[in-house]
Structure 1
Amino acid sequence: MLQTILIDKEISINDKECFDKYFETSHVLASEMNFTNFFMWKDHYKIRFGIIYEFLCIMSVRDESKPFCFFPVGDYKKGEDLKKTIYAIKDYFDQEGWNLIFSRVTKQQKEILDEIGIAYNAIEDRDNADYVYTVKSLSTLAGKKLDGKRNHINKFKKLYSYEYEEITPANIQDCKNIVEKWYQLREQSGDESLSNERIANNKLLDNYEILGLKGGLIRVNGKTEAFTVGEQLNKNTAVIHVEKANAEIHGIYTVINQQFINNEWLHLEYVNREQDMGIAGLRKAKLSYNPDHLIEKYTIEVC
């Protein structure tokens, strides 16, 4: 039954190979569409998945919100199979009395719906648009628009002695310590999303090797003060999953950002630094790095 296919299969670390196969086939653009993202957030979003007509179908069934799906992942040249997949999901949603909602749908995926003749209503989801930068821009910080970033780095280098290290099993605990300190400083805010993010970050670090991730950390005067983790999203783009640092150290976020690019991603063309989630300060920070483009996303309701 479709219900069994979609809802009863929870993600485990053993599903990475399956997910990777489908993501590679579809050349994903959105930062969400990778196994690491779904695995680290699986408890918060109550992610379920299944394969329908050779498309990977991923669904969120959180108790406090209506279920929704991510756009099916597979070979989009097989338009008829994709169409059958979407109608199969819709039949199930109809039986449950739910509207079929696809969340975080890219412009390119929306155009596929037009090509295969699926009727829908779309609302742009600006808060979840991904910020994409060129590797060259982030590695050099060249140009007048990034003068401020270069100044941050120059001031940091004058004030501190620092070292960059690749993340390995030997220093994973240092990264976990940063996570704990970062959230302890903010836990009094009562923001439940911080607790969920803390769990997701630790799940990522606990499974760092098997997830095939790359990461780097910064030691300032011998003490670990920043770390970041990412992976290759598609053939020419890296995605950054986590970036945490001691904000009291001037310029450290700029330094870890640039150092990670220069040590790990110079062979690629772009870096996807995910969305701003509608947070004003985060939007300002991401725009300040002068993105090359945004990955537009939409919330789609299938008619």
Structure 2
Amino acid sequence: MANLTVNEQVLKPFTLDVKPVLEKYLSRLHIDLSDYTFAANYIWLANSSGFYAIINKCFCLFVMTAGELTMILPPLGKKKYITDAMISCFTIMNENNSSPYYARIDYVQEAMVEEFAMYTDDAQSMFVMMDNYIVEKKLVDYIYLVDSLIYLRGNSYHTKRTEINKFKKSYPDCVVEELDSSKHKDEIILLFNKWVTDRVKYMPSEEAENFLEGIHQERIAVKQMIKNYNELSLIGLVIYINGELKGFTVGEKINEDTASVIIEKTDFEILGCAQFIFREFSKILKEHYRVTYINVGDDMGFENLRKVKMSYRPFKLVPKYTIYQK
């Protein structure tokens, strides 16, 4: 993929080679949102054109979709540089895009929104700033104490413990293995395809259309994850029942005390499998990364997924915002 030049600003392709560059900027921040890692963005940009540039001493990640540029993360850098970089990025997007309507910055953490709103102490300038932009709260990331997910103590986790115990009694010979991308890739794709079919079957009809629109992107993301599993420094588990792969899960470390679950799929027909593999993976994440918290991402706006994630009693919900132009 070639460079993209917009009004003399060169945007370079977002390739695997960019991993150490982005991670250098991320290492200076302490952000526990699941979107702020190289792997998460590289996997989900598999079906899009990602570009980056260093603007005002900040790492700026753009995505090109149908010829229109947006930002999949806010500029990453020291606090004093971020807002000016945001404004410069809007200028770049406007120069490229067919309409100012398309320009936006997604997955902005709360502290950056506050800094953007308080860009200047001059009240008149502040009014002009917020008169030109709209800040909209979007989804939230669900973050849990890792020990809560492992030990499932108390009445609030009674149902989870029961589901796991029933699963263990029903499938005493199940086998849990560390994910090997070469060994397990074909079976993972087969399970993913079955999961899609079953998910639509049990999904409320009003959600099914939106779900199917996004599933093509997720299928490509899963393939990208498998293809570059080792290069992305991921960790995962698979579970076998009667010789068939019935679940897989993949995660990574976000910061010093937080790991994330990037993707998890299990066979709907195996009751308790999802709860069982989630607890086993929580143990691995704690052992492997020595973390205190696990971030399982957002609910993508699906009510059923929100209920599932809330049922695990999150330690905190971390909001994510989008900044638009008026």
Task: State yes or no: 1:152 paired with 2:163.
Answer: yes
Whichever residue aligns with residue 178 of structure 1, its letter is L
Give the structure 1 partner of residue 204 of structure 2: none
* TM-score, structure 1 as length reference: 0.89
Is 203-212 or 10-19 further displaced after alignment?
10-19
Q: Does 1:178 align with 2:178?
A: no
Indicate whether 1:262 and 2:264 are aligned: no
| Pairing of 1:1-303 with structure 2 (within 5 A) | 3=7, 5=9, 8-63=11-66, 67-76=70-79, 79=80, 81-96=81-96, 97-98=99-100, 100-117=103-120, 119-120=129-130, 121-125=134-138, 128-160=139-171, 161-173=173-185, 174-183=187-196, 185=198, 191-266=212-287, 267-301=290-324
Report the Cα distance in structure 2 between the residues aligned to 1:43 and 1:192, rounded to whole angstroms: 16
Does structure 1 retain, via aligned residues, the 8 Å contact 2:100–2:325?
A: no
**Secondary structure, aligned partner of 1:26:** coil
Q: Secondary structure at the match of 2:78?
A: coil
Q: Which residues of structure 2 form unaligned runs of 5+? A: 121-125, 202-207
1: CA distance between counterparts of 2:181 and 2:298?
Answer: 29
Between the aligned partners of 2:151 and 2:106, the Cα distance in structure 1 is 35
Letter in 1 for 2:153: A
Contact 2:25 2:77 in 1 (8 A): yes
Q: CA deviation at 1:68?
A: 4.1
How many Å apart are 1:29 and its aligned residue? 2.3
For 1:157 and 1:243, locate their aligned partners in 2 and report how far apart those are by CA, in whole Å.
19
CA contact (8 A) 1:30 1:130 kept: yes
Offset of residue 175 of structure 1 = 2.6
| In structure 2, distance between residues paired with 1:113 and 1:131 | 24
Deviation at 1:269, TM superposition (A): 0.8
Secondary structure at the counterpart of residue 198 of structure 1: helix
Give the fraction of aligned pairs with identical amino acids, expressed as a percent: 28
Cα gap change, 1:113 to 1:143, in 2 (>3 Å): same
- Distance in 1 between residues matched to 2:195 and 2:283, nearest whole Å: 25
Letter in 1 for 2:174: Y
Structure 2 residue matching 1:17: 3-state secondary structure: helix
Q: CA deviation at 1:184?
A: 5.2
Assess if the C-alpha contact under 8 Å between 1:238 and 1:268 holds in 2.
yes
Change (3 A) 1:149 1:186: closer
Instruction: State the 1:214 CA deviation.
Output: 0.5
Residues 108-117 or 257-266, more deviating = 108-117
- Structure 1, unmatched stretches of 5+, are none
Q: Return closer, same or farther for 1:154/1:228 CA change in 2, 3 Å cut-off.
A: same
CA contact (8 A) 1:106 1:296 kept: yes
Q: Does 241-250 or 21-30 show the bigger shift?
A: 21-30
Does the CA contact (< 8 Å) of 1:5 and 1:49 recur in 2? no
Question: Which segment is superposed worse, 133-142 or 28-37?
Answer: 28-37
Tell me the residue number matched to 2:123. none
Equivalent residues, number: 297
Q: Could you say if the C-alpha distance between residues 227 and 4 of structure 1 is closer, same or farther in structure 2, counting changes exceeding 3 Å?
A: farther
Q: Match of 2:13, SS?
A: coil
CA separation of 1:170/1:27 partners in 2, compared to 1, >3 Å: closer, same or farther?
same
